[in-house]
Amino acid sequence: MNIHLIVQLLVLVGEIKTEAELTAELESLLKAYGFEYYGVLIQLRPNQDPMSMVVASRWPEGWPEIYLGRKYVLIDPTIRMLSMTQRPFRWRDAVFALRNDPHRQRMQRMMQEGVRYGLQDGYILPVHGRNGLLGHMTVGGRPVDLSPAEMALFDAAAKKVFWRFAELRGQAEELEAVAQVDTQLTRREMEVIVLLADGLTSNEIAKSLDISSHTVDWYINGLQEKLRAKNRQHVVASAFRLGLVI
C-alpha cells in the first residue's frame, strides 16, 4: 500500500500555489497507484457544456469525443449513482446497482466501449457542500483494488484537491454559497421528501407516516410542482441541491 503518498498529498495540497503544480502532484499519486486516467469535475447544471465543468483530466485519446458525441452522460451509471449516494463507489458497483434500469443495455454498451479504450474499472469520489453535490473526482483504467483505509484517504484527498482547484480558480466562494430557497414546504412535505431521498417507495413512505399511498403520491405531485421537478428523481436531486436534504 502507498498510503503515505496519499497522506503526503493531503499535507501538500494547501501549500500548492498553481493549478499546474496541483495537477502534477495528483497525477504522480495516481500513477503510483496504477490509475491511468482521471477527471476532476464540477457538477453539471442544466444547459451547460459538459466540457466547461472539467477542472483537470486525462482520458484515453478519442474517448471524450465518443462520450459526448453519443450522449453517454445521459445514461452513464456512475454519474447517475452520484445523485443517489454521498459515499465513494466503484464503477462496476454502479452498473450492478442499476442492473434493472430501463437504460441498462445502453449502459452496458457504454461500459463495453469504455473497456476498449482502456477504461476497465475505477472509482468515483463525490464532493458535497452546502448546496448538495458540487462535483467529483473519478479515477480509473486497469482494475485497482483499494483497501477500506486507502478508499477513505482517497476520498479525503479528492475533497482537498477539488477545493484547492476551486480556490486557485477563484470559484470557492461561489461553490460555498448557500442556495437561496424561497420554496415553503410543510412539515409533512419535508417528511415525505426525506423518506423519498432515502429511496422509499410510495407504499413504504405511507407505512412509515401512517397515511395512504394515494396521499403520499399527492404530496409528491405537490413537491414536483413546488420544486419545478419533472419526476421523483428530479425532486430528490433538487432537494439535495437546495439543501433541503443533507
44 and 115 both lie in a single domain:
yes
172 versus 182: which is more confidently predicted?
A: 172
**Whole-number pLDDT of residue 46:** 55
The answer to the question of residue 181 being in a domain is no
pLDDT at residue 210 above 70?
A: yes
Residue 218 inside a domain? The answer is yes
For residue 182, pLDDT over 60 is answered with no
Same domain membership, residue 65 and residue 166 = yes
CA gap 144, 125 in Å, rounded: 15
Residue predicted with more confidence, 45 or 26 = 26
Last residue of a domain, one of 156, 176, 196: 176
Instruction: Quickly state the pLDDT bin for 235 (edges 50, 70, 90).
Output: confident
Which residue stretches of 121-184 are H helix?
148-168, 172-176
* One domain for residues 123 and 222: no
Looking at the structure, tell me whether residues 137 and 194 fall in a common domain.
no
One domain for residues 106 and 197: no
Assign 157 a pLDDT band (cuts: 50, 70, 90): very high
**DSSP characters for 105-131?**
HHHHHHHHHHHHTT--EEEEEEEEETT
Pick the more confident residue, 60 or 184. Answer: 60
Residue 186: per-residue pLDDT: 87
pLDDT, position 183: 66
pLDDT at 83 over 80: no
More confident residue, 89 or 82: 89
Judge whether 246 lies within some domain: no
Look up the pTM and report it.
Answer: 0.73
Looking at the fold, whether 99 and 7 belong to one and the same domain comes out as yes
Full residue range of the structural domain in which residue 86 is found: 3-176
**DSSP of 48-105, one letter per residue?**
--GGGGEEEEE--TTHHHHHHHTTGGGT-HHHHHHTT-SS-EEHHHHHHHTTT-TTHH
Can you give the pLDDT at residue 47? 56
- 238, 226 contact by CB (below 8 A): no
Average pLDDT of the chain to the nearest whole number = 89
Q: Tell whether the model's pLDDT for residue 61 goes beyond 80.
A: yes
pLDDT(181) > 60? no
166 shares a domain with 212 = no
- Residue 231 belongs to a domain: yes
Task: Out of 154, 176, 198, pick the residue that ends a domain.
Answer: 176
Give the rounded percent of residues in the chain with a pLDDT score beyond 70.
Answer: 91
The CB density around residue 65, as the number of other CB atoms within 10 Å, is 10
Highest mean pLDDT range out of 43-47, 114-118, 190-194? 114-118
Nearest one of 219, 134, 206 to 172, comparing CA atoms: 134
Cα distance between residue 210 and residue 48, in whole Å: 42
- How does residue 99 score in pLDDT terms, banded at 50, 70 and 90? confident
The CATH number linked to 202 is 1.10.10.10
* pLDDT for the residue 1: 58
As for how many domains the chain has, the answer is 2
Q: Are 154 and 185 in contact (CB under 8 A)?
A: no
Q: Which three cell numbers stand for residue 83?
A: 445523485
Q: Give me the residue label for grid cell 405531485.
A: 221
For residue 42, list its beta bridge partners.
Answer: 135
Domain identity same for 233 and 120: no
My answer on whether 211 and 124 are in the same domain is no
* Lowest mean per-residue pLDDT among 27-36, 129-138, 170-179: 170-179
The answer to whether 36 touches 141, Cβ cutoff 8 Å, is: yes
Q: What is the CATH number of the domain that holds 80?
A: 3.30.450.80
Give the pLDDT confidence score for residue 56 in this predicted structure: 95
Asked if residue 212 belongs to a domain, the reply is: yes
Check: CB of residue 224 under 8 Å from CB of residue 235.
yes
